[in-house]
Amino acid sequence: MAPTPNANAATKWADGLRGIASLLVVTAHISRSLAPCILSPAMSESLPPLILQLPIIRCLFMGRPSVAVFALLSGYVNALKPIKQTRAGHIEDALTGVAKSAFRRTGRFIIPAMIATTLSWLVCQFGGYGLAKEVESAWIRDTSPMPSGSFAAALRDLFNNLITTWTDGGNEYDRIQWTLCYLLRGSMLVYLTLVATAYVRPRYRMLIYTTLYLYYWKMGDAVVGINIYAGMLLAELTFDSDLQTHVSNHPTLYSVLSSLGILLGTFIISYPEEHPEWARWSNGLMEFGHYIFPAGSEYSRYYPALGAEILVFGIMFNSTAKRILSSSPLCWIGKMSFAVYLLHAPLIRTLLTWLLYGASAQPRSAGKDDHGNALPPDWIPLTSRWLLFVTLPLFYYLLYRIAQLWVMYIDPFCGRATNWIEEKLFRDDTRMEKPLLLA
């Protein structure tokens, strides 16, 4: 019989994968800002693709697969310990842990996001996004808010955005926080399902997860629903002794199959957000999607989710991949993942924008044409494309240094705040857990 994996070993590779996913989110948003053509599989229907637009390579510049990975790992990590407890017959302990985890996760999701939003709000009110509103990058312009008209209006705007972040995902001061609302809902979905199935036998619990996966597939929830239950199914398989024994007895078979799964998942993830008909490979995926996805669904959401699931399942059964993801550098990046996610967009609109456009900043021309119509503004151009080779490495370095400070000071504060509220509301004292990583 294969040994039962301990919780730390079962999640260490997930920390590394989460770190890579958060890094790719940053890369994706920088790509949207400076090279939006990468969203398509070719430069046009009649032109060949750039190297960066080719399948698999383009995964380095795509953000949607990362969101799917976050949701999948949320289902996996949050379900891992309760599933292990229920399989061992410690059902009451599992239910107690789920109740406390649901409370803690809410606080450790919301409080850091509120701090990040408030900081971005302050930058906005003091004109920190002024240059970003005038540069040629459409993504930077569109995600940069304007200062409020008055102090009272500024306070009202802050309050409204702190609320709408968790109601409909809207946040003018940091639009990438739209995912947090869905990831928090997904976490609650995990806890609800764990409570409802605590007394169910493992094999039937896996059947329930599969049924719920298909339900959300049919509903069209490719952002959270299907990924959450794929993660929970993965957690259940982690402790399935029959499967683990079969894997141990046939290492070569599972090494080959998992490697093929990683390759296939990476290829599927490559499905472009725009103009899939411009390349033969993506057009083939689009045609195939007509048969497997719900009518009217967004294929550029489903394919990254499906590819991420195949990829993660492949990693799960590939010892080499797990060993690489469990390395110290990747685990360190994983520790920074939530801070990086919260901080990168405001820093793109300020630090990176100032570095790339500040030297060429000039007043925009204003005027009218011969017919009296207002002329479009002259957006500030990039100072130099060669500057990217120096600026981007510097930006990533500063981003992770700032994220490290966040983890050192802000995360412990959020943990203490959550723990204080917990001690006031709960009937027994609980030990504060480690800071939240974007699971």
d(CA 261, CA 259): 5
* pLDDT for residue 438 is more than 70: no
What HEC string does 219-263 produce?
Answer: HCCCCCHHHHHHHHHHHHHHCCHHHHHHHHHCHHHHHHHHHHHHH
Residue 1 has pLDDT above 60, yes or no: no
Given a cut of 60, whether residue 4 has pLDDT beyond it is no
267, β-bridge pairs: none
Lowest mean pLDDT among 134-143, 164-173, 376-385: 376-385
Tokens 């991420």: give the residue: 308
The full length of the chain comes to 439
The H or E element containing residue 35 is: none
Burial code of 278-295, b = ≥16 C-beta within 10 A, e = fewer?
bbebbeebbeebeeebee
pLDDT of the residue at 432: 47
Token digits of residue 88 = 């061992």
First vs last C-alpha separation in the chain: 30
**Residue 97 to residue 102: CA distance in whole angstroms:** 9
- The burial of 97, by beta-carbon neighbours within 10 Å (0-12 exposed, 13-18 middle, 19 or more buried), is given as middle
Whether residue 64 contacts residue 300, with contact meaning beta carbons closer than 8 Å, is answered with yes
Spatial distance between the Cα atoms of 345 and 351, rounded to a whole number of angstroms: 10
| Backbone dihedral region for residue 279 (phi beyond 0: left; psi -120 to 50: alpha; all else: beta) | beta
The DSSP secondary-structure symbol of 276 reads: G
For the stretch 376-391, pLDDT in tens is 667 888 888 888 899 9
- 3-state SS assignment for residue 142: helix
Q: Residue 105 in contact with residue 436, Cβ under 8 Å? A: yes
Its pTM stands at 0.90
Distance CA(23)–CA(70), nearest Å, equals: 12
The DSSP result for 366-389, as a single string, is --B-TTSPBPPP-PBPPS-GGGHH
Mean pLDDT of the chain: 90
135: DSSP letter? B
Q: What is the mean pLDDT of residues 387-409?
A: 95
Q: Is residue 363 pLDDT above 70, yes or no?
A: no
Q: What's the one-letter identity of residue 317?
A: F
